[in-house]
Amino acid sequence: MNQRLSTRRVDRRPCIHEWCVTEHGATVHPDDEDHRSVGVALTVRARRGEDRGGGEETTLEIGALRRSDDPETWIVIETGIGVSLALTRDGARDLQHRLAEAITPGGPLSRDGIDG
């Protein structure tokens, strides 16, 4: 068997987080060793809270992040409009639940009033 033709082997440490896609041990910068999930993209119309107008179409990317010095995993929402938010899993679940209650048909934020 010709050893020169064998695939180059990189020693990658297996990650303890099933959702992590970081190639541990194959990165250069220490920050690249953070545990990151695949991002889930969602295109929406959005604007920064302090802005006015109709906003712009942008892509939200939602994923998990756990930096090497974090004691817990964060759910991160990154946007294409210059803001991002990191929530604990419990906080993300609370936000999901509250949004669902508020904007579901019949919810207090589901419409603007009689006409909307």
Binding stretches for Zn ion (CB under 5 A): 15, 20, 22, 35
Nearer to Zn ion, 65 or 87 (CB): 65
Nearer to Zn ion, 27 or 110 (CB): 27
User: Which pairing describes strands 40-46 and 35-36: parallel, antiparallel, or unpaired?
Assistant: unpaired
CB of 75 to Zn ion, least distance (A): 16
- Measured in degrees and rounded to the nearest 5, phi and psi for residue 24 equal -55, 135
Q: Is the dihedral of CA 43, 49, 50, 52 positive or negative?
A: positive
Residues in Cβ contact with 80 at an 8 Å cutoff, skipping those fewer than 6 apart: 58, 59, 60
The whole-angstrom separation of Cα 15 and Cα 37 is 11
Nearer to Zn ion, 32 or 51 (CB): 32
What type of residue is 24?
A: H
Nearer to Zn ion, 27 or 104 (CB): 27
CB of 64 to Zn ion, least distance (A): 10
CB of 71 to Zn ion, least distance (A): 15
CB of 13 to Zn ion, least distance (A): 8
